[in-house]
């Protein structure tokens, strides 16, 4: 027994040293996320808002500001107004603004409001506010994309502005991009932006110079498993190689619309387990009832809808999203017919491989869901 114990000492000793080192390096990160770190190891405890996803709600225009809800996979429930609950005394006013967009970048959730609302950064694990560009009447934000740890871009109703992520100071409007700009995505050395007047504009990620324009696009963006960037418009779905910017065009047998009249994020998303694109067949802005799944291997991709929502419902906002943790397509619907019908919401879960419905959670209130956001 003594010999066996002595043989184990060389193995046990480094482990004890690691544990001791980790104990010394325990830190309490800003916004309450606990982690254990050393030079080679970082372990972060599971945050309150990690096991689920956020619903960014635009709110009932002129009746109240937008809200952030959270769907918890563990409990199978939706909790509303999590931003204000985690930040007493803070809000997303004015009530005339609409919270329209959200994205997670570098462990931070960026909340973007239209019509005079604020641009707010929160910790994505705790929802505690970190910083904001205050609301003011001249604000008219659309979306945000992170470039690196120090800078990003904000699209607006009139062009795109660089933003310093330390000070939140906006830089000079980017030359060559005018009018309303919505969705944006970074891939490799480029940033792809969707312009109302020009379609897809490709920017150099370092200089912000316009590199290429692809006209006719109205709905964007999705990034497929192979890294390609996707957009659509009219009767075309396009695949853009993010290294060469070569464009492949797929003909769609129906009209694909944008949402410029009352902007919301594009009704297009992609799988992370196969090279598949999901796109809603919307009316002129929202209001669709069908979602199609495109794969290059399936020539009949647009012959039959992959998902058809139950009768009496329609998509609202982006309406369709992909949940990578569970390989599910998430669909937001409201009851058709405007007025009080829009207070009846359903969050519906579908298997992203088969299209089979998994769950349907009904909830009431004038939320007007805009987009789902995932870690």
Cβ contact 256:218 at 8 Å: yes
Residue 280 neighbours by CB distance under 10 Å: 27
pLDDT of amino acid 26 = 33
* Beta-bridge mates of residue 214: 200
Could you read off the pLDDT of 234-252 as tens digits, one per residue? 999 999 999 999 999 999 9
Cβ contact 118:134 at 8 Å: yes
- Give me 190's structure tokens: 């480029």
Phi, psi angles (nearest 5°) of residue 324: -65, -30
Alpha carbon 287 to its chain's center: 20
Query: 335 pLDDT exceeds 60?
Result: yes
Mean pLDDT computed over 39-50? 65
Query: 332 pLDDT exceeds 70?
Result: yes
* Average per-residue pLDDT for the chain: 90
pLDDT of amino acid 284 = 85
The residue with greater pLDDT, 11 or 117, is 117
Query: 54 pLDDT exceeds 80?
Result: yes
Could you read off the pLDDT of 121-130 as tens digits, one per residue? 999 999 999 9
pLDDT of amino acid 41 = 46
Mean pLDDT computed over 201-208? 98
| Residue 40 banded pLDDT, cuts 50, 70, 90 | very low
| Residue 365 banded pLDDT, cuts 50, 70, 90 | very high
Q: Sheet with 34-37: list strands edge to edge.
A: 26-28, 34-37, 42-44
- Tell me the range of 13-17, 110-114, 283-287 where mean pLDDT is highest: 110-114
Query: 292 pLDDT exceeds 70?
Result: yes
Could you read off the pLDDT of 159-168 as tens digits, one per residue? 999 999 999 9
Query: 204 pLDDT exceeds 60?
Result: yes
**How many angstroms separate the CA atoms of 230 and 248, rounded?**
10
Residue 283 neighbours by CB distance under 10 Å: 13
Q: 352-357 long-range CB contacts below 8 Å, 24 or more apart? A: 352/271, 352/273, 352/276, 352/278, 352/322, 352/327, 352/328, 353/273, 353/274, 353/327, 355/293, 355/306, 355/307, 355/329
3-state DSSP assignment of residue 36: strand
Cβ contact 199:233 at 8 Å: yes
Share of the chain above pLDDT 70, in %: 88
Query: 262 pLDDT exceeds 90?
Result: yes
pLDDT of amino acid 93 = 96
pLDDT of amino acid 45 = 59
3-state DSSP assignment of residue 133: strand
Could you read off the pLDDT of 179-192 as tens digits, one per residue? 999 999 999 999 99
Query: 174 pLDDT exceeds 50?
Result: yes
| Residue 44 banded pLDDT, cuts 50, 70, 90 | low
- Give me 198's structure tokens: 């020009």
Query: 37 pLDDT exceeds 60?
Result: no
**How many angstroms separate the CA atoms of 156 and 171, rounded?**
13
* Residue 275 DSSP one-character state: S
Cβ contact 196:179 at 8 Å: yes
Mean pLDDT computed over 202-221? 98
Cβ contact 140:128 at 8 Å: no
25-29, 95-99, 161-165, 299-303: which range is least confident on average?
25-29
Query: What are the domain boundaries of the chain?
Result: 1-45, 216-375
**How many angstroms separate the CA atoms of 163 and 152, rounded?**
5
Which is the CATH superfamily of the domain at 216-375? YVTN repeat-like/Quinoprotein amine dehydrogenase (2.130.10.10)
């Amino acid at each position: 027994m003594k010999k066996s114990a002595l043989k184990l000492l060389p193995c046990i000793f480094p482990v004890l040293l690691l544990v001791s080192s980790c104990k010394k390096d325990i830190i309490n990160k800003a916004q309450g996320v606990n982690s254990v770190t050393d030079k080679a190891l970082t372990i972060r405890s599971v945050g309150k808002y990690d096991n689920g996803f956020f619903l960014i709600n635009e709110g009932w225009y002129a009746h109240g500001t937008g809200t952030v809800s959270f769907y918890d996979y563990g409990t199978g429930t939706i909790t509303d107004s999590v931003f204000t609950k985690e930040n007493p005394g803070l809000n997303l006013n004015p009530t005339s603004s609409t919270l329209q967009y959200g994205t997670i970048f570098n462990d931070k959730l960026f909340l973007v409001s239209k019509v005079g609302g604020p641009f707010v950064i929160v910790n994505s694990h705790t929802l505690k506010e970190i910083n904001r560009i205050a609301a003011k009447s001249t604000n008219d934000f659309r979306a945000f994309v992170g470039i690196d740890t120090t800078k990003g871009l904000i699209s607006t109703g009139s062009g795109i502005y660089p933003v310093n992520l330390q000070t939140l100071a906006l830089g000079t409007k980017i030359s060559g991009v005018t009018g309303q700009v919505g969705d944006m995505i970074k891939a490799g050395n480029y940033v792809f932006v969707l312009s109302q007047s020009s379609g897809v504009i490709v920017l150099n990620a370092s200089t912000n110079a316009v590199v290429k324009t692809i006209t006719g696009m109205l709905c964007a963006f999705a990034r497929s498993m192979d890294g390609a960037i996707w957009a659509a418009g009219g009767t075309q779905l396009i695949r853009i190689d993010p290294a060469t910017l070569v464009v492949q065009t797929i003909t769609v047998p129906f009209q694909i619309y944008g949402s410029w009249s009352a902007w919301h994020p594009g009704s297009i998303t992609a799988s992370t387990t196969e090279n598949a694109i999901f796109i809603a067949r919307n009316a002129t802005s929202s209001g669709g009832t069908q979602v199609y799944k495109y794969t290059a291997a399936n020539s009949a991709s647009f012959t039959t809808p992959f998902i058809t929502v139950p009768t009496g419902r329609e998509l609202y906002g982006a309406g369709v999203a992909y949940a990578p943790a569970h390989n599910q397509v998430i669909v937001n619907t409201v009851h058709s017919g405007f007025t009080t019908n829009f207070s009846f919401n359903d969050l519906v879960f579908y298997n992203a491989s088969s299209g089979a419905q998994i769950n349907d959670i009904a909830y009431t209130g004038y939320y007007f869901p805009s987009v789902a956001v995932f870690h």
